[in-house]
Amino acid sequence: MEEDKLQRILDQVADAAFATADKGRVADYIPELAAVDPDQFAIAVARPGHPTLTAGRAQKAFSIQSVSKVFTLAVALGKLGDRLWNRVGREPSGQAFDSVILLEQEKGRPRNPFINAGAIVTTDAVLEGSEPKEALAAILRFVREAAGDDAIHINDSVAQSEIATGHRNFALAHYLLSHGNLQHPPELTLGTYFHQCAIEMNCAQLADAGLFLTACDGAPRMVSPSRIRRINALMMTCGHYDGSGDYAYRVGLPGKSGVGGGILTIAPGIASIAVWAPGLNRYGNSKLGTEAMQRLTDLTGWSVF
């Protein structure tokens, strides 16, 4: 699609988002995120060989939170390969992102790498044979290389805010440990997990960071083509937790959300799209972000279906 036309569509999508009265509710279980102004919106589209197009506040950094789980999964698969699947499944959970209920029923093997329990196991796997600092550095290095931007950083206050208040994640980690599915002390694995969630990026950087998952000619080659397809499949089926079916229905593309209000969406062979609006819907995914992605795909026709 021509740049002028795509830019007009992005402007239209941003105008509609700013005009929407119900902006959702910001996450308040992480004190540092509770203070974010919900009246913000940004969208960015990255395509190899084209400038990254944006609308709204696309240079404003936000906490990527669970969007980081995509990058950590790529790092963990690079390190362990299919051995990761001995510890975590590949099925949608149909439960909230921080739910503990299936973990008891399924004896400490989380359903997928995107719910918190599964992401904690995935981070624990990246820690195998590494010091926590090295594991975190490997994740941050992957993100920086994917985005082509060495300035991307971790917000330590956000990480500390979760270390102080993340009781459910501590419960999940202890539960995993009790089933032998955590190889490090909970505070060590969670320290790494909270810091990975506290990576900050703006929408333009996040769209660029997703390019390696598009398999477009000219995109960074960071993982193999078959792994790209598999990560996208998990994003489509599990990337929005118990709202994954709703996102697939509305948007028709694989995506991964975070409670900071960011969503990374991949249009395979076409583009990487990032959207950010801090107010969340009942699933804990960006409300305006989801609506904007629905509008974008309606206007562009981008879909895997």
Residue 162 among known ligand-binding residues: yes
Of the residues 75, 121, 175, 193, only one is catalytic, namely 193
In the bound state with ligand DON, the residue whose beta carbon lies nearer, of 87 and 240, is 240
Residue 116 among known ligand-binding residues: yes
Of the residues 241, 244, 275, 287, only one is catalytic, namely 241
Residue 162 Cβ, how far from ligand DON at the closest point, in Å?
Answer: 6
In the bound state with ligand DON, the residue whose beta carbon lies nearer, of 197 and 209, is 197
- Residue among 166, 123, 149, 126 nearest 61 (CA): 149
Known catalytic residue at 175: no
Residue 5 Cβ, how far from ligand DON at the closest point, in Å?
Answer: 31
Residue ranges in contact with ligand DON by CB under 6 A: 65-66, 97-98, 116, 162, 169, 197, 257-259, 284-285
In the bound state with ligand DON, the residue whose beta carbon lies nearer, of 62 and 302, is 62
In the bound state with ligand DON, the residue whose beta carbon lies nearer, of 116 and 192, is 116
Known catalytic residue at 241: yes
Of the residues 66, 93, 161, 286, only one is catalytic, namely 66
Of the residues 259, 272, 283, 287, only one is catalytic, namely 259
φ and ψ of 199, to 5 deg: -60, 135
Residue 66 among known ligand-binding residues: yes
In the bound state with ligand DON, the residue whose beta carbon lies nearer, of 10 and 280, is 280
Known catalytic residue at 283: no
Of the residues 13, 23, 26, 69, only one is catalytic, namely 69
Residue 67 Cβ, how far from ligand DON at the closest point, in Å?
Answer: 7
Residue 82 Cβ, how far from ligand DON at the closest point, in Å?
Answer: 25
Q: Residue positions in the annotated binding site?
A: 66, 116, 162, 169, 193, 241, 259
Q: Residue positions in the annotated binding site for substrate?
A: 66, 116, 162, 169, 193, 241, 259
Catalytic residues: 66, 69, 193, 241, 259
